[in-house]
């Protein structure tokens, strides 16, 4: 392919836009020059540099979130050609055109492709997805985890709170309080930690209530969509067993967890 032909080749986007949280969504089409190895983020940056739609009309720059650009932070999640995923690793050469970009519907839209993921972060707070060490004094070296346990715990720790699994889950919606697969998997992760296990019973009691495990429909969408390949459904199955044991312990008044 000659250099002249490369310059003439273009990429077409259909982007769902929304001027504010209260306004109605609408679609705008854009056409930008093709470059080899473009990802969706670089295409959006090109549109932002010259915000002119396919008809030649100047429009407001597009809003979206991004940070690390290497599929670690989870900020650039959006729906690309009908599939929720990270836009930094979505390569234009591998996408069918026109490329359709939409905000995730599970979360409230702030503007254009930017959404408010507070629902997910609030759920992580609800289940205490952290190791409770206040840091006011030196506790010394903590207990060591067996290597086998550490290896599968590391897989769960890859979660980047991107929200893709919540977007893919049919049970996470505005009519349900279901916290979703990511926070549930984090319960398993922190319950497995030697120090985090101090709050194991409390975490399990939390997910036994409204919006917890009982709301999971086992659609398997989450594990198929997770960009990090986290075994989310395996975690949910393990938590079902743990909560059953916890229910018996609570019923018989056992303090052990």
Considering the domain architecture, whether residues 68 and 174 belong to the same structural domain is answered as no
The pLDDT, as a whole number, for residue 132 is: 84
pLDDT classification of 254: cutoffs 50, 70, 90: low
Contact 186, 127 (CB under 8 A): yes
pLDDT classification of 253: cutoffs 50, 70, 90: confident
169: domain CATH number?
Answer: 1.10.1060.10
25 token code pair: 């969504």
pLDDT classification of 6: cutoffs 50, 70, 90: very low
Considering the domain architecture, whether residues 54 and 124 belong to the same structural domain is answered as no
Considering the domain architecture, whether residues 111 and 131 belong to the same structural domain is answered as no
Q: Which of 34, 37, 42 is nearest to 6 (CA)?
A: 34
Concatenated DSSP letters of 119-135 = HHHHHHHHTT-S-----
Rounded CA separation 48/51 (Å): 5
- Judged by average pLDDT, the poorest of 37-46, 120-129, 136-145, 228-237 is 136-145
Q: Which of 200, 163, 183, 168 is nearest to 76 (CA)?
A: 163
Q: Which of 39, 11, 15 is nearest to 27 (CA)?
A: 15
What's the pLDDT tens digit per position in 62-74? Answer: 999 999 999 999 9
Range of the domain at 132: 118-251
What's the pLDDT tens digit per position in 176-213? Answer: 999 999 999 999 999 999 889 989 999 999 999 999 99
Rounded to 10°, the helix 181-192/118-126 angle is 30
Considering the domain architecture, whether residues 111 and 34 belong to the same structural domain is answered as yes
Other C-beta atoms lying within 10 Å of the C-beta of residue 131: 15
User: Where does a domain end: 81, 115, 149?
Assistant: 115
What's the pLDDT tens digit per position in 136-166? Answer: 777 777 788 889 899 999 999 999 999 999 9
Considering the domain architecture, whether residues 98 and 39 belong to the same structural domain is answered as yes
The pLDDT, as a whole number, for residue 16 is: 98
User: Where does a domain end: 84, 115, 146?
Assistant: 115
Number of domains in the chain: 2
29: domain CATH number?
Answer: 3.10.20.30
pLDDT classification of 8: cutoffs 50, 70, 90: low
Considering the domain architecture, whether residues 9 and 100 belong to the same structural domain is answered as yes
pLDDT classification of 257: cutoffs 50, 70, 90: very low
257 found inside a domain: no
Q: Which residue has the higher pLDDT, 208 or 255?
A: 208
Rounded to 10°, the helix 181-192/147-156 angle is 160
Considering the domain architecture, whether residues 99 and 37 belong to the same structural domain is answered as yes
**R_g (Cα) of the chain, nearest Å:** 22
What is the helix (H) or strand (E) element at residue 244, kind and residue range?
helix 232-251
Q: Which of 204, 28, 25 is nearest to 127 (CA)?
A: 204
Average pLDDT, the chain: 92
Rounded CA separation 141/145 (Å): 12
53 found inside a domain: yes
Considering the domain architecture, whether residues 147 and 27 belong to the same structural domain is answered as no
């Amino acid at each position: 392919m000659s250099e002249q032909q490369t310059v003439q080749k273009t990429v077409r986007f259909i982007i769902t836009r929304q001027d504010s949280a209260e306004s109605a969504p609408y679609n705008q089409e854009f056409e930008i020059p093709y470059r080899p190895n473009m990802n969706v983020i670089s295409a959006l940056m090109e549109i932002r540099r010259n915000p002119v739609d396919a008809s030649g009309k100047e429009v407001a720059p597009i809003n979206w979130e991004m940070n690390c650009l290497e599929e670690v932070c989870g900020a650039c999640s959006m729906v690309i050609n009908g599939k929720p995923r990270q836009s930094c690793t979505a390569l234009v050469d591998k996408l069918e055109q026109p490329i359709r970009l939409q905000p995730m519907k599970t979360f409230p839209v702030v503007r254009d492709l930017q959404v408010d993921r507070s629902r997910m972060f609030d759920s992580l707070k609800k289940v205490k997805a952290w190791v409770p060490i206040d840091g006011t004094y030196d506790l010394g070296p903590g207990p060591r985890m067996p290597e086998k346990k550490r290896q599968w715990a590391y897989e769960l720790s890859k979660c980047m709170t991107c929200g893709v699994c919540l977007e893919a889950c049919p049970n996470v919606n505005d009519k349900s309080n279901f916290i979703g697969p990511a926070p549930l998997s984090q319960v398993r992760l922190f319950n497995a930690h030697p120090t985090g296990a101090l709050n194991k019973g409390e975490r399990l009691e939390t997910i036994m209530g409204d919006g917890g495990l009982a709301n999971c429909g086992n659609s398997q969408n989450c594990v198929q969509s997770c960009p990090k390949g986290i075994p989310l459904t395996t975690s949910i199955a393990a938590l079902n067993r743990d909560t059953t044991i916890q229910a018996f312990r609570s019923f018989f008044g056992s303090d052990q967890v």
